[in-house]
Every structure is written in structure tokens, then in C-alpha cells.
Chains A and B, each alone.
Chain A
Amino acid sequence: MRLLAAALLVLGTALAAAPAPVPVNDAVVTGGGYPQTLGELGFFTDPGARQPAAGVVPYRLQTPLWTDGAEKDRFVYVPAGQQARAQGDGLIDLPVGSALIKHFAFGGKLIETRVLLHRKDGWLALPYVWNAAQNEARLALAGKRIDLVTPTGQAISYGVPNKNQCKDCHSLDNVTMPIGPKAYNLSAAWLTAFAKSGKLDRVPVVDRRIPLWEQRAKVPVADAARGYLDANCAHCHNPKGAASNSGLYLGWQVTDRIALGVMKRPVAAGRGAGPHEFDVVPGQPDHSILLYRFASTEGGVAMPELGRETRDPAGEAVVRAWIAGMR
């Protein structure tokens, strides 16, 4: 008895010294219903969700979506023993049981965390809002308005999207889908490491990659602008997206000039068109509806429709320079 007790004690000490990796709660990820707290999913080992659990891998996009200047941390989770599949330079195909997790913070303080869970019946998008103590994020199915101050000092009513609004952007042919992890918007180094870790079947070949946003002054302005438009607009503005009926398609690989808005008249823009007649007038950013809507914060005019209460001067500058230099 004493020996056994001693053995147990030793074992317990060993476990405490080198804890086994805490696994993600796969049953909750793939189960039914809506987990009420982020913690239930087990993507992080600490209540503040700063330490990713085993298999939860951080990543970044070359050029990200801008959301009122929020600081974002992104993670991808692929369950043990499974593998994502590369699909050319497009969206990585993540198997059932996978998840994408995205923190939104201002001044280092977490505001919300959005998750995409790949269940048997498809992807599910859910928003979680952080408490003041930063130790619990609760489901906000119906969204929420939160007063905060942006990095540029603007006091705003920040909009946490509701579950349906998540899908507004995350939908292709009305099916919920991830947006971000397309190979052409991920670095070669990250893709290589992800494949090497066994979580991706191969390193996808990418002919043209969206440039790093921080490098925008050093790359051709068209590349920087088109990368920005892809990340900020193309999830709706594509032939299968929420804005399919507009005929304005802003994806990275679109080559048709009319589809990109060049001398294209608006269809259902309503007063979003302002005094302008065309989406993009080459050489004339101030006569282009695209920039007009970017530079507005007014409901019914502002684009993107969701997730932006303030202007994005850096994004505007790149789009402006692109249109100004266009012939």
C-alpha cells in the first residue's frame, strides 16, 4: 500500500512537472447546439484565451480585413489524426472537426472572439463577447453594441455581428464558409510549416500571392490595392457572395475590368452611389463610387456594410492611389 501510494505520488509529481497537452474539446466543436462560452470549446488552456491548446496553430493573413483598427489574432485547429487539404492557391479545405478562431482586441483588451466550427452539417459561425475581467467570453447570438475607443482615439459604438451577420460575409451560394485561409493570402513559410507539421497534405503552389500589408509602399500599388479589396470586399463581392447581384466582383483573381467596377454603373447601390455614375473611373478616385463608399461611415452608404464604424485611412490611400494611377 505504502509503495503504491509512493508510486502514485511520484507519478502525480511527474504529471505536474510536465503536464500533458490539454486537448481541444472535440465533442463540443462537432456537437449540436451553441456552446454558451468560448471556454467550453477548449481552444485555449487559460481563461484569458492567450495560450492555445494542443493543435491550435496561430496564423496571419498577408493582407487582413480591417475592423475599426482592431488588433486580431487568428488560430486554426485541425483535430488530431486529421489533415487539411490544399486546393490550388484557394481556400484550404479543413476537415470536419476543424475550427478557425479569431480574437478582436483594442489596446490589448479582448472585445470579442469569433469562431467558425466545421460540423458534420457544415460550418457554424458564432460570436463570443468578453467580460470586463477578461476571463470569460459568452455567446452573443444576437450580436452586441460595445462602446470603445479605437487606436486613433475615436469613441465608437463597436458592432459585434450576430450569428446571421457572420454568415452574411461567410457565405458562398448561401452556405457558410471560411474566408481568410486562402493559400494566396497566406505566407509560403507558414504553409510550409503547416504542411511539415502534418496538418496540411502538401504545400500549395501559389503563382501570385497577395503582398504583405506592411509592405504596401514597396510593392506595385495595384497589387496592394487588389489585395486589400480581396480581403475587405470580395467575400460578398463575388459571383456566389452576398453581393452577387451587384455584378461587382473584387476578388484577387478577377481580371474583367467591368466586373472590377471600371466604368461600371451601379445597379442597386441606391444612395450609396452618391453623386457618382461609375464604380471606378480610371484616374479619378474622387469620382469613383468605390472610394466614396469606403470613405463614408453612414449606414446605407458605407462599405463594407458590417464591421466598420470608422474610416480606414491606410486602406483608402491604397485604393485611391490605385484608381489615380489607372488608365
Chain B
Amino acid sequence: MRMSATLIAAASALALAAPLHAKTIEVAAGDGAQGRLQEALILAEPGDTVQLGAGRFVLTDGLSLDVNGVTVRGAGMDASVLDFTGQKGAGEGLLVTSDDVTLRDFAVENTKGDGIKSKGADNVVYYRIRVTWTGGPKETNGAYGIYPVSSTGVLVDGCKVSGASDAGIYVGQSKAITVRYNYVEQSVAGIEIENSRDALVTGNLVTRNTGGILVFDLPNLPVMGGGNTRISGNLVVGNDTPNFAPKGNIVAGVPRGTGIMVMANDGVWIRANHLANNPTGHVLVVSYPKPFTDKTYNPLPRNIVVEENAYVGGGDEPQLPGAAPLLAALGGRLPPVVWDGIGPQMPFVTNGKAFLSLGIPGPDVGMAEAKPGLVKDDKARTLPTPTAPFGAPAALDSRARP
């Protein structure tokens, strides 16, 4: 048994190692970039690097990569720019549908739809990628900046996103995820983890978004049951951009000035973050508010732990139903943690201070019947603990930080 395990490990190591014939395909900016770059992405073989030169690649259509183990590398997130301002078709700038792909050191600008999407692409690394809509926050901007979905093993590291009309960095229906050291601004949601498990969101700066970091679980999707996610050591500061999402969008319901928001999910640890000047509130814990018929879906947040965060200002301009009298009663500022009050289990808030329950009796009940009040979590409850491992597999690190 031991022998075969070793053999399997050796075989796996061989399979993962770059093939001996791995080559670098250089693609320069300039005339005919669309065809030259797309052809390179098609003809690349596992282990190859598609190296983008410095300069502006003027593109008219979406690009796509469907070869395992390819690295697409630019000369820096400000040096190699894929410019989609004149894009005519496709739902995103770059689509990745293969495994073990590394995207690093280039920028994507002004895509009509999403910036970069990777779907069913396991062990994907986004490193020092910039996705920008250069006209600032606008409803006509594309939805997601960096958009890995339906994947196992996701690392988004050192990236910068600005202007997404949905989420700057959105990870959906995936597991084993790390989102770290990114800078997301002027998007409706800074970072969103949706219908996903085992995510680590750490060391990010999210500012001037409508909402900073969202952890959502939604019904009627092939992957549900999100949770076991840790949000720690992030700077969630001054998220005050008015919500500019199209109305039909789930994030259109995110109040302007939300720091961290958890909707549904089982097991979210919000720990050691610095939250400052988020005008609605620093931490919101809510259930899914819309009617649904999906019997396999749990709309309630369970095992939500909020501990050892630093709070500065905020809560002074809440876009919450029935906020005006609350604000008056509480001296002009809501407490840092707000729970909608729905469900049998309140969040675990361990700072010894009271949090606000909106006291909504249940879903489909208006604020008219709500009984808001301060709640102090002074019960001696055993805190739930996360299940290891969190985050992306360690093997992805070497592709991000050589």
C-alpha cells in the first residue's frame, strides 16, 4: 500500500512538471493582435508560456484559452494591456476553460461583459492581473472583473480591479479558494464569494465600492451550500459608492456603504479585519430575502463568527429599511454588526459589545412587523470552528510568487 502511494505521488509529480519541450510563444502588441494572440492561445501546448510584449493590444473580440497547463504572462499589469474598448462580441475579454492555467502580469481594459472568466478551470492562478473599466463606475461597465466559476483550486493574488458593475472579484460555485492581497475599488461589490466552500479571503484592500466583501449563497443553482469560509486581515474602508448595478442583479440589493455582508451560508469566520467608514454598516448578516421554491436550499446564515475586528466610524448613513428612527434612538450611529434577526441562530459576536438585530420575524415579512433591538451575545456558547483545509492548494503558490 505504501509503495503504491509513493508511486502515485511520483507519477503525479511527473504529470505536474512542465514538459521538457515547453516553449515560450512571444506575442507583440500592434497590428493584427487579435488573430496573432488568439492563434498563440490555440496552438500553445501544455507547459508553454504565451508571453505578451509591452504595449497595447487592441482587440475586437473575446479571447479564449482551452489548453491545460499554459501560462499567459505579460510585462506587467501596467505594461501589457489588452484593450477591449472596441470589442464587438463574446461575453468576456478572456475565457479560460482548461486546468492548471496561470494568468499573470497583464491588464484587461473596458470589456463589454466580464473581464476574465475561467469556468470549469481547476487550479487557476490569477497573479498581478489588472482589470479596469477606465470610465469609472458605470452601469454599462461589464459585470465581473475576475470571474472564476465552477472550479476547484482558485488563487487570485495581487490583482487590481476597478469599475465592475457587479463584483470586482467574483468566485462562484467553486471550492478551495484563496483571494489575497488584491485591491478592488469602485465596483458594486469588491469581492464576492458565492455558492462556494473553503475560501480564504485575506489581506485585501477593498475601498470605494458599494459593498466591500460579500459571502452569498443563492438558490436554484447547480452548486449550493456555501460556507466554511474565512474573511480575515482585510482592509475594508470607505465603501461609499452608490449602487450602480442593474436592477435585476442580486447585488443591486446591497446597501451603499456595506463593509462585509454574509447572506445564508454555513460557517463564515470574519476575523481581524480593519473596517472603517462604511456608512451603512461594517458587518451585515442576513438571510436570503426573496421567495424561493428550491427545497434543497437553506436561506439562513448559520455558524457565523464575528470576532476581533477593528471598527472605525461607519454606520452613520445606513441604507436599511426603517433606519431613520433607529439612527435617532442610537445616537446617530448603528453598531458595527447588524443582523436581520431571521432564523433561530444569531451570529456569534465576541467583542462583548451589543450588535443590532433588525428583529425581522421571518422572510416575506415587512419591516412594519420588525422589532429591532440591541442584542448582546453574552451567552457562553461554543464557537464553531472551521474545517481544514482552507484556501487554494499550496502548489498554486509557486506559480504566483516565483
Contacts and interface: CB of A to CB of B under 8 A. Distances in A.
B66 A299 contact: no
Contacts of B294: 258
Nearest to B249: A273
Nearest to A246: B221
Contacts, number: 150
Interface of B: 34-36, 38-39, 41-43, 60-62, 64-66, 87-91, 95, 97, 111-114, 119-120, 139-144, 147, 149-150, 165-166, 170, 172-173, 194, 218, 220-223, 245-250, 290, 293-294
B88 A309 contact: yes
Contacts of B43: 141
Contacts of A271: 139-143, 165-166, 245-246, 249
Nearest to B88: A157
A247 B90 contact: no
Give the interface SS of chain B, mostly helix, strand, loop or mixed: loop
Interface string A118-161: 00000000000000000000000111110000000000010100
B265 to A, nearest CB: 16
Contacts of A145: 60-61, 88
Given A157-B60, A245-B149, A300-B112, 12 more contacts: A142-B42, A159-B61, A165-B64, A165-B90, A245-B172, A245-B222, A265-B290, A266-B248, A271-B140, A271-B245, A272-B143, A306-B89
Given A162-B42, A174-B120, A305-B89, A270 B222 contact: no
Contact of A289 (B113, B165, B248, B250): B248
Given A143-B61, A163-B42, A164-B65, A247 B248 contact: no
B246 to A, nearest CB: 5
16 contacts: A141-B39, A141-B43, A143-B35, A162-B38, A164-B42, A165-B90, A242-B97, A244-B222, A245-B119, A269-B143, A271-B245, A272-B143, A274-B246, A275-B247, A300-B91, A306-B89
A3 interface: no
B248 A162 contact: no
A23 to B, nearest CB: 30
Interface string A281-324: 00000000100000000111000011001000000000000000
A186 to B, nearest CB: 29
B140 to A, nearest CB: 7
Contact of A265 (B36, B143, B246, B248): B248
Nearest to A165: B64
Contact of B89 (A266, A278, A299): A299
Contacts of A298: 112
A305 B249 CA distance: 19
Contact of B143 (A142, A247, A270, A274): A270
A239 interface: yes
B64 A168 contact: yes
A133 to B, nearest CB: 22
A247 B220 CA distance: 6
A163 B290 CA distance: 41
A169 to B, nearest CB: 12
A157 B250 CA distance: 34
A278 to B, nearest CB: 8
Contacts of B112: 298-300
Contact of A299 (B88, B119, B245): B88
Contact of A239 (B62, B141, B222): B222
A228 B384 CA distance: 50
Given A273-B248, A274-B248, A258 B66 contact: no
Contacts of A305: 89-91, 113
Nearest to A256: B220
A270 B165 contact: yes
Contacts of A244: 150, 222
Contacts of B140: 271
B383 to A, nearest CB: 32
Contacts of B249: 266, 269-271, 273
